[in-house]
Amino acid sequence: MKTKLPKNQAHARERERARDRDRDPVTHQERFAARGVKYQWSTPDGTVHHGHTVVLARTRSGLKAALRQFWTLHPHVSPFTV
């Protein structure tokens, strides 16, 4: 029969499991969701410029929010497709 842990120990164990899920099993480094973003913009004289950056977040939902924030904070750039 399984014994029930006190509530604070159960929460501590669950936090530890969640932390372990976010770590790479080989390197034990924290994992991040990453997305490379390529974008372009043009200057008034018609010159087109290209750039790229990497957006990082701890979770996929955080990554979506970070990408939305990137495009909101940089309204003068548009996604670059080849």
Per-residue pLDDT tens for 20-44?
666 665 665 666 778 888 999 999 9
Domain membership flag for residue 45: yes
The whole-model pTM stands at 0.55
Domain membership flag for residue 1: no
Q: Enter the tokens of residue 43.
A: 């200057």
Q: Taking residues 46-74, report their average pLDDT.
A: 88
Domain count, the chain: 1
Domain membership flag for residue 16: yes
Give the model's pLDDT for residue 4. 67
For 73, the domain range is: 7-79
Domain membership flag for residue 40: yes
Domain membership flag for residue 64: yes
Spatial contact of 70 and 34, defined as CB atoms under 8 Å apart: no
Taking each continuous run of H as one helix and of E as one strand, the counts in the chain are: 2, 3
